[in-house]
A and B are shown apart, each in its own frame.
Chain A
Amino acid sequence: MTPPVTAPPAVVRLNPVIAGSEVDSRDTAELTGVDGQVVAEVGLAPRLLAQAAVQRVRAHAGAPAPAAELFAAAGELFATAALDGESPAEYQRRVAAATGSPRAAVERATASIRAALARIEDLNSAELPAPFAEGGFARHWVPRGKVLAVVVPNNHPEPNVTWVRALSLGYSVLLRPGSKDPFTPRRLTAALLRAGLPPHRLAFLPGGHDLGDHLLDQADLGIVYGGPDAAARYGNRRDILVRGPGRSKALVDAASAAALPDSLTRWIADDGGVRCNNISAVLTSGDAGELADALARRLAALDVHPVTSAKALLPATTKTNAEALAPYLADLAAQGTDHSSALYPDGPLSVLPDTSVVLRPLVISVDDPHHALLGTELPFPFVVVAPWREEHGTAPLRDSLVVSLNGRHTRLAEELLREPSVRKVTTGDVRPWLSRPELPHDGSLAGFLLEPKALIHAT
């Protein structure tokens, strides 16, 4: 069966935006999609252009934050309007084609961004103590800098909410978009400007890693999304908040393993496995091999479609990347027992007629909960299943954005909440990314960006 091929989106030109104006940069790079077709021509901001932006943004920084209504309006425009001639559907197709994330995941992310921007005040106030003001004494939470640099990721559009929140907390923002998804921050920039954001509060600056480093040096504070390299590089700096790998895990007992395979499959594979809170390790007090087999069978049933199709469930990459990935995956699989590959007659990397390569789920089991493979996170449904017994305690669950506890293990919840390297705990049949605006995702953004100051006046 040949999956239907959708027409590629038109090639778009994305330029740096400084203080509300596009700069038609002479430095350009082509952004090719997973099918090898050009999706966009990107005007790059070399360091000197970025420096021009830094100076303009800084010259106007420090004004009070725009009203919450502006962000709600921007979220509405982002999700529904034609911006710079781009419809929401074109935007979603471009992100899917360029990043290899399934299109439906980008559609859901669009809705989530709209919802978050509509409640931006709730998101911010939930992270701060109740206001204090009594007589002439008042506590104010104010920005601890004026200019924030943000290195935005490619894997999923939702982390862009972070820098929009920074604007709503009074910061001016220098953005270095991801190399594969400049579309989301560019579209949000357009939406915010149209909604009335003062133009000099924001600069959109596509460029390489060097540019990110330069912006982080020039700004008062920085936020970096990145892998282990970024965490190692910036993790110790008080002025930089690192949002690193998710390494989300589930601990299930034998009964839950039998009752929850559909849920576990979704936690591993929803949004194509590209979320930082997709489960990438499952520990079980039941039979690890049996659970791995069950998960591998269910995950292998996910159909293969081009990522720009509405039916796409799995992510894709380019032919070149896939060729580099194949030996790496074979090496990973050889470190444990591969439960998936035998289920794919043509191998786990599925080449489509458009030359894109769909990354099919991979389930590997190991016999030690401290095995080095646990904590490996890959941009497609990838999970390592390992045995767990009482005496192992919470140690194998450390360094996790989310830990899902199921069955008799739910009693570990409080212990894990007190574990600093675990950022969120769920129990029972709950999606790892289920949340409410009142709840933190990975600590407190407002706590990083703001600090309390006293204002005392004679009454």
Chain B
Amino acid sequence: MTALLPHAPLSPLGTDADTHLRQTLRWHFGAATGSPFWLRTAPALGFDPVRDIRTLADLRRFPDLSDQLRTVAVEDLIPAGHTGPPFEVFESGGTLGAPKRVVDSASRGLNVDWVSTVLDAHGFPATGNWLHVGPTGPHVVGRTIRQLAQSRGGVAFTVDFDPRWVKRLLGSGRTDLAGEYRSYLLDQVELIVQSQDIKVLFITPPVLEALVARPELYERLAAGLEGIVWAGTSISAESLRQLEETFFPRARIAAIYGNTLMGIAPQRPRQDGDVHPAVFRPFFPQSVVELVDGPGGAPVAYGERGQVLVHLLSRDMFLPNVLERDTAIRVRPAPGDTVDGLADIAPLPSQGGTRVIEGVY
């Protein structure tokens, strides 16, 4: 896969970032259009969001209120001026305690439509069925993949996957049970693949690795697969090469980075001179992603690793200044683009002590 692909389409919303920012603030803090959540928070901010926040850099003046999303009534998040399709509620994975809830009507759909055009640029099949091996239920990715499959002329088969249960198993050291759960998921994948025509697979790297280790399932799936989207965890450079060159040489392979609060940032097609095998490009300016030097820190330089700071500026929800648990390397915008890329996403390193190992082995 060395052929260069066309650039992904840019400026997805057709407005410049500062105009989009000011429109968003006027909407969410307007007395007639804003949400109860922001209207009741505004007086305590110490500044006027509509008058004082002029550029993206000013967003750092907001406090991170995302913890309140664990408990706030979701009706309070819905802008009063809303007249479009009904709202849905989605939840985060709940890695660090109770899940955070977000609401959305149509904004994330714009993000998904744009991702579909990026998949075109990757050379993904224009039609065909998808198989989604990942979270559905309260997690937004379930709706995202269904929408992608439908907009690309297919249906999405889904294997239900509860990431919170897996995290609980791994967190309590029950790796055997987590392995059994993975096998159980693959049993269900097998039942679908035996009778259905699957062109595109959405899956996490660990489950894909386990799938490849089941020779019959792997061979049957690989024979028809034309695209793989991986997401959810990182993957090593050699693992990615093995996927592309050894196991799925006929398929296009692209990744998606995303989270409940920000939306999704697809991998952009590789460019000449790319150092990183997967560079992610956010849906700017609806999703603004900065890589910063810790809480309150300045943006890191290009090529440096920083902590992910996101601002969600959609018509359905405004959520500035949320420091995520992830880190990434800041990559210069691709030629013709103005938005930074993110590469090599990894969790914040935890603080671990050195353990003395007894024995001679």
Interface residues in chain A, defined as those with a beta carbon under 8 Å from any beta carbon in chain B: 25-27, 44-49, 51-52, 54-55, 153-156, 178, 214, 217-218, 225-228, 230, 245-246, 274-276, 278, 320-321, 324-325, 328, 376-379
Q: Can you name the residue of chain B whose Cβ is closest to the Cβ of A156?
A: B360
Known: A47-B209, A324-B354. A275 touches B360 (CB 8 A): yes
- A contact face: mostly helix, strand, loop, or mixed: loop
Q: How far is the CA of A378 from the CA of B358 in the complex (A)?
A: 6
> B213-247: contact bitstring with A at CB < 8 Å (1 yes, 0 no)?
10100000000000000000000111101110011
Q: Tell whether B212 is near chain A: CB-to-CB under 8 Å.
A: yes
Q: How far is the CA of A49 from the CA of B236 in the complex (A)?
A: 11
The answer to whether A51 and B238 have CB atoms under 8 Å apart is no
7 residue pairs bridging A and B, Cβ less than 8 Å apart: A49-B239, A178-B361, A227-B357, A227-B359, A228-B358, A325-B356, A379-B359
The answer to whether B237 and A27 have CB atoms under 8 Å apart is yes
Selected from A27, A44, A153, A320, the residue in CB contact (under 8 A) with B361 is: A153
Selected from A27, A46, A48, A245, the residue in CB contact (under 8 A) with B360 is: A245
Q: How far is the CA of A26 from the CA of B243 in the complex (A)?
A: 13
Max count, chain B CB within 10 A of own CB: residue among A52, A275, A376: A52
Nearest chain B CB to A86's CB is how many angstroms away?
A: 24
20 new A-B contacts, CB < 8 A, other than A52-B242, A225-B361, are A46-B239, A48-B239, A49-B238, A52-B246, A153-B361, A154-B361, A155-B360, A155-B361, A217-B213, A218-B213, A226-B359, A226-B361, A227-B360, A228-B358, A228-B359, A245-B360, A324-B354, A325-B356, A328-B356, A376-B358
Known: A48-B247, A324-B356, A328-B356. A227 touches B361 (CB 8 A): yes
Which residues of A sit under 8 angstroms from B357, Cβ to Cβ? 227
Known: A26-B236, A55-B215, A320-B354. A49 touches B242 (CB 8 A): yes
Sorted nearest first, the 8 A-B pairs with minimum C-beta distance are A227-B359, A26-B237, A48-B242, A27-B238, A324-B354, A26-B238, A153-B361, A155-B360
The answer to whether A46 and B354 have CB atoms under 8 Å apart is no
Which residues of A sit under 8 angstroms from B236, Cβ to Cβ? 26-27, 44, 46
Which residues of A sit under 8 angstroms from B238, Cβ to Cβ? 25-27, 44-46, 48-49
Q: How far is the CA of A366 from the CA of B212 in the complex (A)?
A: 54
The answer to whether B359 and A377 have CB atoms under 8 Å apart is yes
Q: Can you name the residue of chain B whose Cβ is closest to the Cβ of A380?
A: B360
Which residues of B sit under 8 angstroms from A52, Cβ to Cβ? 242, 246-247
Which residues of A sit under 8 angstroms from B241, Cβ to Cβ? 26
Q: Can you name the residue of chain B whose Cβ is closest to the Cβ of A154?
A: B361
The answer to whether A245 and B361 have CB atoms under 8 Å apart is yes
Q: How far is the CA of A225 from the CA of B359 in the complex (A)?
A: 11
Q: How far is the CA of A199 from the CA of B360 in the complex (A)?
A: 32
Q: Can you name the residue of chain B whose Cβ is closest to the Cβ of A326?
A: B356
The answer to whether B358 and A48 have CB atoms under 8 Å apart is no
Within 8 A of A (CB), among B337-361: 354-361
Q: How far is the CA of A145 from the CA of B97 in the complex (A)?
A: 46
The answer to whether A245 and B359 have CB atoms under 8 Å apart is yes
The answer to whether B360 and A276 have CB atoms under 8 Å apart is yes
The answer to whether B243 and A48 have CB atoms under 8 Å apart is yes
Number of contacting residues on B, CB 8 A?
A: 21
Q: How far is the CA of A304 from the CA of B103 in the complex (A)?
A: 68
The answer to whether A51 and B360 have CB atoms under 8 Å apart is no
Nearest chain A CB to B178's CB is how many angstroms away?
A: 12
The answer to whether B358 and A227 have CB atoms under 8 Å apart is yes
Which residues of A sit under 8 angstroms from B354, Cβ to Cβ? 320-321, 324
Q: Can you name the residue of chain B whose Cβ is closest to the Cβ of A151?
A: B361
Q: How far is the CA of A45 from the CA of B356 in the complex (A)?
A: 26
Q: How far is the CA of A233 from the CA of B58 in the complex (A)?
A: 54
The answer to whether A48 and B361 have CB atoms under 8 Å apart is no
Nearest chain A CB to B245's CB is how many angstroms away?
A: 10
Nearest chain A CB to B343's CB is how many angstroms away?
A: 14
Known: A26-B237, A55-B215. A48 touches B359 (CB 8 A): no
Which residues of B sit under 8 angstroms from A27, Cβ to Cβ? 236-239
Which residues of A sit under 8 angstroms from B242, Cβ to Cβ? 46, 48-49, 51-52
Nearest chain B CB to A348's CB is how many angstroms away?
A: 15
Q: How far is the CA of A214 from the CA of B210 in the complex (A)?
A: 10
Q: Can you name the residue of chain A whose Cβ is closest to the Cβ of B357?
A: A227
Selected from A46, A153, A275, A377, the residue in CB contact (under 8 A) with B358 is: A377
Nearest chain B CB to A267's CB is how many angstroms away?
A: 15
Within 8 A of A (CB), among B306-361: 354-361
Which residues of B sit under 8 angstroms from A320, Cβ to Cβ? 354
The answer to whether B359 and A378 have CB atoms under 8 Å apart is yes
Nearest chain A CB to B11's CB is how many angstroms away?
A: 34
Q: How far is the CA of A214 from the CA of B209 in the complex (A)?
A: 10
Which residues of B sit under 8 angstroms from A227, Cβ to Cβ? 357-361
Nearest chain B CB to A33's CB is how many angstroms away?
A: 18
Within 8 A of A (CB), among B192-223: 209, 212-213, 215
The answer to whether B356 and A51 have CB atoms under 8 Å apart is no
Nearest chain A CB to B237's CB is how many angstroms away?
A: 4
Which residues of A sit under 8 angstroms from B243, Cβ to Cβ? 48
Q: How far is the CA of A214 from the CA of B361 in the complex (A)?
A: 20
Which residues of A sit under 8 angstroms from B209, Cβ to Cβ? 47-48, 51
Nearest chain A CB to B274's CB is how many angstroms away?
A: 14
Q: How far is the CA of A227 from the CA of B359 in the complex (A)?
A: 6
Q: Can you name the residue of chain A whose Cβ is closest to the Cβ of B353?
A: A324
Nearest chain B CB to A208's CB is how many angstroms away?
A: 11
Nearest chain B CB to A384's CB is how many angstroms away?
A: 13
Q: Can you name the residue of chain A whose Cβ is closest to the Cβ of B212?
A: A51
Q: How far is the CA of A205 from the CA of B215 in the complex (A)?
A: 20
Q: How far is the CA of A324 from the CA of B353 in the complex (A)?
A: 9
